[in-house]
Structures are given as C-alpha cells and as structure tokens.
Chain A
C-alpha cells in the first residue's frame, strides 16, 4: 500500500492511501485547496492568542482524517448504508468544505460573503480544477459533494451523511475544537474524540411521528463524552472565538475594507493602485468571481493594509495603522437585560461626540454582535427543518421502554446541560478608539 503521510499536531500522522484514492491527492494539490495554507483558521485570534497561527489547510486535512477514520469504522458494520459514491463524496466534502473561506476566515465573511455557498459554487463550476478532478471519478460526484456542503439540505441528500459534514456534532467541529484549543493554548477545548468516533452508530427509527430515517446515534455509555464535547464548545466560544479583543480587531478589518471600498468607488487613482485581486472585489459588488477569489489570501490583505497605512486618506491610514500596530480598542458591552432601543439614545450621543471631534463615526464607533448556540435542543415549533441527525445529537438506549431515542439534552442524567443549552450565547459590544474611552464611557453610563 502506498501512503502519503502528513505530520499533524493533533493526530500525530494523517495518511492518504494513494492507490485507493489517487484523486484525493490530486484534489489536495489543486490551487483551490493549497490556497487554504494562506488562510488562518482563527482569523485574527493570533492578536489575542499568539499561537493561533494554524491554517484552514491543516484543519481541512484533519477533517478528512476524521471522516476517513469514521467511514472505515462504520463500514465494518453498516456497509449496506453506503450507496455508490457515498464514501467518495464524504471524503471529498470533508477536504473541500472550507475552500470558500475569504482571508482571515469568518472575520471577513460579512464583506466577502458566505463561504459554504461559495465552496459549493466552485465545486459545481465546470472550469474549476476541483470540478474536473471529481468528474474524473464520476460525472455525478461534483453535485453530490456540493449538496453535502451547501447550507440548505437538498432533497435526496441522506441527512445522516450530511450531518457528518455539518450538524451539531460533525467532523468539522470535532477537528476544529481540539486543533484550535491545542494551537491557541486554551486547553478547555479538548475532549475524548476517539471515543466519540468509535462509539458512533447508525440506528433506524422514526421520532416525533416523522418518517422512518437513519440516525447517527451513540450508546448511553457515551453520554458523558458527548457532554464533555458540548461543554468544550461552550468554553471555546466564551474564551477564544468570541474573545473581545479578537472580535474588536476583526471588526476593524471590516471597517478598513469598507473604507477602501468607499474610496475605490469614488477615486479612479485609488482603484488603480490596489493589489490584484483586491481591485476586483473593491471595485464591484460582485463577489462571485472565483478565479479572482482564489488569489485572495491573508498575505495579500495584510500586504494591502501595510500599503494603506501610508495612504493619503487619513481614515484609511489611521485604521490600518491601528490594526498593524495592534493599537488597543476600548469596548462597551451592552448589559444582557437591555434591548437595542433602550440604549439607542446613549449610542446617538456617542456618535455626536465623535462627529464633533472630527472623527468619521461610522468608522470609529462600531458594533459587534456575537451569537451562537453551543448545542441547540430541537424544538419542532422553532426549527426550520424536521428533526434529523443534522439538528440533534441522539442517544440510543435499546434497553429503554420507549423508542430508545433520547435527544442528549433531554436525558434525565444530563439535566445540567440545560444550563448552557437553554439560551443562545448573545453578546453585543461597541468598539471605539481607546484615547476617547473616558468620555465615551461617561456618555454610556
């Protein structure tokens, strides 16, 4: 057996069987996947956690590794569940799920658009290298892979398979929590991943009167490792992903891009001096040019921001300097019991104050709202789709008197999970220049 070996800090070694999956290695070598080496996995988290310099490339390899491990384990008992091309589609989707990410990953998504939809478009585009390689395996493979990645599940996609790519417990999350934890040094993200993968089963059943379906399930004995996984997510979101410093600098990058876009729309000279391919994205509102997009990386954006630091436009040069010199931003966190309309007057006063100080308030006073659910219990009245492995983590206890299925947060032995799953984590913050902190805090009192 010929194997391609990769050293990896999380799994020690990742292997690709080059005889069985020669096309997988070809996919890995495409420009679209190689580009992920230059996209940081955690955006500007390195401004807070200096070790968080790992890339989307190592994460994508990690997701592929977990998928490969799970598929081989699953095929030992459930090979009948795999139709033709299912295995290939799952492996390809796990490697390709992040190819649509823009520089600094989620940090610039508001500016450049949703990464999942872009990934699906690149895979379906007949002229992309990825599409050509997948088609060499089968004409049907590009669509099958795109359906697994696309945010909205399409009819005909097996939901248990889709849940392995994107759900409340998928290979993506299993990899990024441990990898981000290891690289950032925030150890809360670690959990027993091996046990989660090697006790994950498939069970037929109908829940809530729905049609019979195949569910990803875990035996009761795995409930504590699942609980550990959910708590890991909670800690990582609170400490790393939603860290106030990181979020502040990520908002600052968006402000820099918005200012540059404004200048590009008015100033031909400014436009002509932009580094390729930024001229495409700042001059038009068309973000779908994937050929230009494939040239867009963290390095390009950092290089451009370094140039902008000396821009004649004072706002752009100041904002760029603040980012590159990591010049602190002050923040105000809106108390959880207050609604937007209750603080609207105070916010308006701050904007007036900055205006009087001669600062463009739209670039120097910005809001950031973070929101996620570490685990969202399924509620038929709220959710947008029927209950499936995509929406629920299910325990299956064959000795139980009922159907045997338990959604994890409903299990009587895991009541403490409700403390972190009942409410989504929502935080609203405003950021402003530190030199105006005292006055602005006074206005916000």
Chain B
C-alpha cells in the first residue's frame, strides 16, 4: 500500500516544495526504516526512484494530490505538491477500515520525521541523501564520495549539515 503511505505523509504537511525534495525526504525515511520502500538509483541529483516518481504521478492522476507550478527564477519552475480536499476525505474514509488502521499504525512513527525533513533546505537534503546512499559502514568515506560526486569541498557548511542529518536518519533505523 505504498500509495496510501505516500499520500499520508504528504497530507501531514501543508505543502512539499518540489518533487526532487520529496524524493530525497522519502529516501532518508526509507533509510531510517520507513515501510515505504522503493528501488533507487544514483542520478545527477542523488538517489532517485522511478517507482516513487510513478507513485506521485498516480496520486496526481487519481486527484489525491494537487501540483501547482511556481516560478522560482527565470526558466526555473518548482512544482509544489499538496493534498487535495478530496484526497484528505479519501484518506479519512480508508483509515476507518481495519486495513486502513493497520497501515496507519505502520506509517505513524515516521510522520514527525517527514515533517522535520520537509523543513530542511533542498541542497542539504540532496547532499544528505547522497551521503546515505554511499554509506556502507564508513561515514567519512561516504562524505568523501559525496563531495567528489557533487563537486563540493570537504568542510563546506551544507555538506557538514547534510552529514549530521544523514547520520541522524540512518542511525535511527
């Protein structure tokens, strides 16, 4: 029931500022043990899941979420996702069923983490998700690989912020 879990997480905040941001947040949650698990590959902006992108498309196509374009700067448009009124109603109805209650229990512990991550800056999330992707037992090595991959210097303030965030989320698994 990945679509329910994703919809539930999105419904817990007012708005998610971009799909890229959503990708990185869900990846970090997945690393902290969230049941919403998708397959990821390493892409230009860090871990990316085509499966997750498909889930967002489906939520949009069934009108559970709304996506509104917002001009950030010339030629850069961000798509803000938020739960529709219809979507909120459908979630409420589903959560009254036995299946719905059980799935709600599975996702509940991750709702506050989702809200916390949604407040983070995009660049920090991008770097943190990449560090978590490279992490294979050695945090410093993961940071070094991320720095090389994302072309940032070791010691860069955002990289350090991301490093702390990645450790916090992967540790809580």
Point out residues on A near B: beta carbons under 8 Å.
152, 207-209, 336-342, 344-345, 348, 371, 379-382, 384-386, 423-424, 426
CB distance from A169 to the nearest CB of B (A): 21
- A336 and B63 alpha carbons, distance in the complex (Å): 9
> Known: A152-B43, A381-B19, A424-B57. Is A340-B75 also a contact (CB below 8 A)?
no
Residues in B22-48 with C-beta less than 8 Å from chain A:
41, 43-45, 48
Interface string of B39-76 (1 = CB under 8 A from A): 00101110010000110011111111000000000111
Among B7, B41, B78, the residue within 8 A (CB) of A381 is: B78
Q: A340-B4, A341-B99 are in contact. List 5 more A-B contacts (CB 8 A).
A: A337-B63, A340-B58, A344-B99, A345-B97, A381-B78
CB distance from B36 to the nearest CB of A (A): 13
- A205 and B59 alpha carbons, distance in the complex (Å): 36
CB distance from B123 to the nearest CB of A (A): 14
CB distance from A187 to the nearest CB of B (A): 29
Among A342, A380, A384, the residue within 8 A (CB) of B76 is: A380
Contacts of B60 in A (CB 8 A): 423
Among B41, B54, B94, the residue within 8 A (CB) of A371 is: B54
List the 5 closest pairs (A to B, CB-CB), nearest first: A341-B4, A208-B75, A381-B18, A384-B43, A381-B78
**A382–B48 touching, CB < 8 Å:** no
Interface string of B1-17 (1 = CB under 8 A from A): 11110010000000000
- A209 and B77 alpha carbons, distance in the complex (Å): 13
Among B43, B58, B76, B97, the residue within 8 A (CB) of A385 is: B43
Contacts of B53 in A (CB 8 A): 382
Number of A-B contacts (CB under 8 A): 77
Closest to A423 in B: B61
Closest to A335 in B: B62
CB distance from A209 to the nearest CB of B (A): 6
**B4–A384 touching, CB < 8 Å:** no
Which of A208, A384, A424 is the most central at the interface, judged by chain B CB atoms within 10 Å of its CB? A384
Contacts of A379 in B (CB 8 A): 77, 79
Interface of A is mostly: loop
> Known: A339-B4, A340-B1, A341-B103. Is A380-B43 also a contact (CB below 8 A)?
no
Among B2, B18, B54, B99, the residue within 8 A (CB) of A345 is: B99
- A307 and B90 alpha carbons, distance in the complex (Å): 49
Which of A336, A371, A382, A426 is the most central at the interface, judged by chain B CB atoms within 10 Å of its CB? A382
CB distance from A394 to the nearest CB of B (A): 13
Among A336, A339, A423, the residue within 8 A (CB) of B3 is: A339
Contacts of B57 in A (CB 8 A): 371, 423-424, 426
- A424 and B62 alpha carbons, distance in the complex (Å): 12
> Known: A152-B41, A209-B74, A386-B44. Is A341-B100 also a contact (CB below 8 A)?
yes
**B20–A382 touching, CB < 8 Å:** yes
Closest to B64 in A: A339
CB distance from B34 to the nearest CB of A (A): 17
- A151 and B119 alpha carbons, distance in the complex (Å): 33
Closest to B99 in A: A344
**B79–A381 touching, CB < 8 Å:** yes
- A331 and B64 alpha carbons, distance in the complex (Å): 25
Contacts of B18 in A (CB 8 A): 381-382
**A338–B54 touching, CB < 8 Å:** no
CB distance from B145 to the nearest CB of A (A): 15
Contacts of B64 in A (CB 8 A): 339
**B44–A208 touching, CB < 8 Å:** no
- A152 and B41 alpha carbons, distance in the complex (Å): 10
**B79–A344 touching, CB < 8 Å:** no
Contacts of B58 in A (CB 8 A): 339-340, 426
Closest to B50 in A: A384
- A341 and B58 alpha carbons, distance in the complex (Å): 12
